[in-house]
Structure 1
């Protein structure tokens, strides 16, 4: 499966696996099934309460915005995407905005509805970033959320007994930086080529060192693990 390199706000390039055509089609079919179930339930409810067709239209209007609503409130996922473990992401690594989701939703009409999905599939296959037309205009793509190497979502780690702060500059670390450090650690540990591993680690270390004002020759893997422990030590009693 093809990867996409996303530049984070720390100027660290993290690779994510693009969702495959099969995964995206499966997610769409699951969403259609979910949509159909909701539709039938609404019809049943309307039939039981004896309301007319106006109520049907009133209740079904929100379903027109099915994917938009779910992606906005479920962090880039619909129920189908969540089951398939894929999600919408921007190509620059920033958090998708409502406008990103709105643009890709609007172009579902061209990518999926009017062309029976042919336009969307062709764009995804031809392009390098797994983007349908709506994704290209919204500057988004769809990635896998399940990585080869699992990453702990928590920022809490055990602090060794008698541990002393290594980098006083760690006080500049933002809580949002911790997931990035964990992703860098996971990627370093997952890389097999020692040269690529070292080059990636040094680049990532250099970028973070410059931001925090740290000078060290510590190995990249140990460096990022130390930053996480330092952060926990600093904030442990707050």
Structure 2
């Protein structure tokens, strides 16, 4: 079975998406955070809510409404339901990204290994959400 894995495109898309997330989080921390004991900016309590909301809007909202994040749009990929190949739901998107810290661990090596060794080219988040990534 010849299923394209789009590893290079997925790496570029992930880099774009997480660059956006990290940059905007950095800006938020700089302007709304306080300097902690280590000399870094941090937020706590309700001030963390905007970061979580932005993450939800960026990943879950974009994937549900636009069918892709900006990174995936740029490289021409989109996540779909593995069984129907229809656009994913907000629940599927949430599940896909819930385990991003594991998939992205060690510069994405875990996600890449899973994609390369999965018959359906799924990383851990895709397996959990029952989704896969296809060319748009």
Q: What TM-score, normalized to structure 2?
A: 0.73
Counterpart selection for 2:11 from 22, 25, 28: 25
State the partner residue of 1:126: 117
Name whichever structure is richer in helix by fraction.
2
Structure 1's unaligned 5+ residue stretches are 4-17, 146-238
Structure 1 residues 138 and 36, CA gap change in structure 2 (3 angstroms): closer
State the partner residue of 1:135: 126
Contact 1:111 1:118 in 2 (8 A): yes
State the partner residue of 1:144: 135
Give 1 or 2 for the bigger CA radius of gyration. 1
Q: Distance in 2 between matches of 1:111 and 1:40?
A: 22
Structure 1 residue 44 displacement after superposition: 5.8
Structure 1 residues 64 and 94, CA gap change in structure 2 (3 angstroms): closer
Aligned-residue CA RMSD in angstroms?
A: 2.6
Which deviations, in whole Å up to 9, do the C-alpha atoms of 1:183-225 show, x marking residues without a partner? xxxxxxxxxxxxxxxxxxxxxxxxxxxxxxxxxxxxxxxxxxx
Q: Distance in 1 between matches of 2:29 and 2:8?
A: 31
Counterpart selection for 1:38 from 24, 27, 30: 24
Which deviations, in whole Å up to 9, do the C-alpha atoms of 1:39-85 show, x marking residues without a partner? 344346548xxxx945752432223434233212322x111111111
State the partner residue of 1:94: 86
Contact 1:68 1:101 in 2 (8 A): yes
Higher relative contact order (CA 8 A, sep 6+): 2
Q: Distance in 2 between matches of 1:83 and 1:104?
A: 19
Q: What TM-score, normalized to structure 1?
A: 0.45
Contact 1:43 1:56 in 2 (8 A): no
Q: Distance in 1 between matches of 2:124 and 2:22?
A: 26
Structure 1 residues 53 and 105, CA gap change in structure 2 (3 angstroms): closer
